[in-house]
A and B are shown apart, each in its own frame.
Chain A
Amino acid sequence: MKMERSEIISVTKKFLSEEFEVDIETIEDDGNLRDTLDLDSLDYVDLVVLIEENLGFKPTAEDFKTVATFNDFYNLVEQKLMNV
């Protein structure tokens, strides 16, 4: 799957805001992903499912260690999609 960064951002904002029921405007590039979405350990299980469904790859627990902000997340997605 090939996606421009702008598309990654818009797709991600859409599925994250819908699933975790937050206002899409609250998702800012420098915002903390865990805090913004109010994620607990179970939510990360769902996040894996969502990423697989919407972005076509399955992240590992190791991958999430590099992710604090949404920007980090978009970087991860870009990197993963390059290798798909």
Chain B
Amino acid sequence: MEHRVVITGIGIYSCIGENLNEVLDALMKGNSGIIYDPMRKEFGYRSSLTGFVKDPDLKPFLSRRERMGMHQPAMFAYMSTKEALENSNLDVDYLEKNETGIIFGNDSTAGAVIETIDKVREKKDTTLIGSGDIFQNMNCTINMNLSTIYKLKGINITLSAACASGSHSIGMGYLLIKQGLQERVICGGAQEINIFAMGSFDGLGAFSMNQDQPQKASRPFDRDRDGLVPSGGAATVIIESLESALKRNAPIYGEIVGYGFSSNGDHISNPNFDGQFRSLNMSLKHAGINPSEIDYINAHATSTIVGDKTEAQVIADVFGSKVPVSSTKGMTGHECWMAGASEIVYSLLMMKNDFIAPNINFENPDEDSRKINVVPQFNEKKIDCFLSNSFGFGGTNSSLIIKKYKP
């Protein structure tokens, strides 16, 4: 028997807000979370632009032992997960007694690893590293920490798929619940934001150089875009079988109805029309819906020349020119491993509050983006069904379709 899969909790810790209320306000106003960080220039970055997310103080919430294994990815993920569990009416006692899994997207722990290695270089003695570093250094740091803190007893794996990690984490959790293997999975994505995390990406020349106007720098689909702005934080999406959600009278934010994925099998960094096209079509086929039933597309568009161009071409080909499209990365920058999950949270807030968040800084279309309906300003609109795209290095693609829940 297949199960319907619904979303019963969401949480966010991002550069446009540290909780759902702040983020909703920023999405409605089109506020940017991008800053100029002088430390990056000093460190050797080509571009000093970044989304700004401060390290949360977890002392009020967690014991020393619980905090010891946490660096930015786990710290950010704790904050978003804490919020998601609270609004899903879930607590540790319930989670300990009712099997719950965790599949979190993460693809780096550079800051933690470098701090550890610096200690060894200085002391020349690994026994002076301390006990927490290993749990900060491993890529599954979020899973190790959150599964321990929340006493989770179900599936426990980290998903690394570059900038599609967060989206695939939800897709994989969805498949497990749909098949009846899990009743509830905590999904999400997190992205560290320290100077060690993004240097090699900056070195590719992929980041915007519009440093005089940080809040104008990320401009997805705009003719004058010149690169992405790195960003970070964490987003959590709790998914659950409909039976389980109804049984415990949980809030229902939406129903996952389609998941599509593909691999380009092509260039390691360049996007690919065919790969994205297959992912989108697979999600539509899986959901059993026509393109015309999609009310809004949250695009992956990161503000790079070639990436946005390819995605605009694919959207135009599959959906035509009418369906409203926006990339929230104009406000947030590219949240990378977190983006696929955070953009589900952003889109769910839009669906719940009947609006489309603006694709800020979209001032002039180019030859491809003029073929789709990019929404540059706040737009009141009832959304019953949306699609969210995520694409990553190595040619990994993911598309999720979510509908407003109807019994």
Is B128 touching A52 in the complex (CB atoms < 8 A)?
Answer: yes
Q: Find chain A residues with CB under 8 A from B132 CB.
A: 42, 46
One digit per residue, 1 when the CB lies within 8 angstroms of any chain A CB and 0 when it does not, for chain B 114-157 equals 00000000000101111110000000000000000000000000
Q: A43 to B131, alpha carbons, bound, how many Å?
A: 7
Q: A58–B129 Cα gap in the complex (Å)?
A: 13
Mark each residue of chain B from 313 to 342: 1 if its CB lies under 8 Å from any CB of chain A, else 0.
000000000000000000000000000000
Indicate if the CB atoms of B130 and A45 lie closer than 8 Å: yes
Contact A40 B128 (CB under 8 A): no
Question: Is residue B248 within 8 Å, beta carbon to beta carbon, of the partner chain?
Answer: no
User: Is the CB of B406 closer than 8 A to any CB of chain A?
Assistant: no
As a 0/1 sequence over residues 219 to 230 of chain B, the CB contacts with chain A under 8 angstroms (1 = contact) are: 000000000000
Which residues 4-30 in A have Cβ within 8 Å of B in the complex?
A: 19-21
CA of A45 to CA of B65 in the docked complex: distance in angstroms?
A: 12
In angstroms, Cα B63 to Cα A48, docked, is: 20
B65→A40 contact, CB < 8 A? yes
Q: Are B64 and A21 in contact (CB under 8 A)?
A: yes
Chain B 180-229 residues near chain A, CB threshold 8 A: none
Q: How far is the CA of A19 from the CA of B344 in the complex (A)?
A: 39
> Which of the listed residues B63, B65, B129 has the most CB atoms from chain A within 10 Å of its own CB?
B65
B125: nearest residue on chain A (CB-CB)? A58
User: 11 interchain pairs (CB within 8 A)?
Assistant: A19-B64, A21-B63, A42-B131, A42-B132, A45-B127, A46-B130, A46-B131, A48-B127, A48-B128, A52-B128, A58-B127
Q: Which 8 A-B pairs have the closest CB atoms?
A: A42-B131, A45-B131, A49-B130, A21-B64, A46-B131, A49-B128, A46-B130, A52-B128
Chain B residue numbers with a CB within 8 Å of A21 are: 63-64
B residues bordering A, Cβ < 8 Å?
A: 63-65, 68, 125, 127-132
Alpha-carbon gap, A68 to B130, bound state (A): 22
Additional pairs, 13, CB under 8 Å, beyond known A21-B64, A45-B127: A20-B64, A21-B63, A40-B65, A42-B68, A43-B131, A45-B130, A45-B131, A48-B127, A48-B128, A49-B128, A49-B129, A49-B130, A58-B127
CB contact list, A60-76 vs B, under 8 A: none
Chain B hits for A43, CB < 8 A? 65, 131
Which residues of A are found within 8 Å of B130, using beta-carbon distances?
A: 45-46, 49
Q: How far is the CB of A42 from chain B (nearest CB, A)?
A: 4
What CA separation (Å) do A79 and B113 show in the bound complex? 36
Nearest chain A CB to B55 CB, angstrom units: 18
A46 vs B132: C-alpha distance in the bound complex, in angstroms?
8
A40: chain B residues at CB < 8 Å are 65
Closest to A40 in B: B65
* Inter-subunit contact B127/A42 (CB<8 Å): no
Q: Is the CB of B65 within 8 A of A42?
A: yes
Minimum CB–CB distance from A19 to chain B (whole Å) comes to: 8
In whole angstroms, what is the CA distance A43 to B130 when docked? Answer: 9
Chain B residues with Cβ below 8 Å from A20 are: 64
Closest to B119 in A: A49
Interface residues of A in 25-63 (CB under 8 A from B): 40, 42-43, 45-46, 48-49, 52, 58
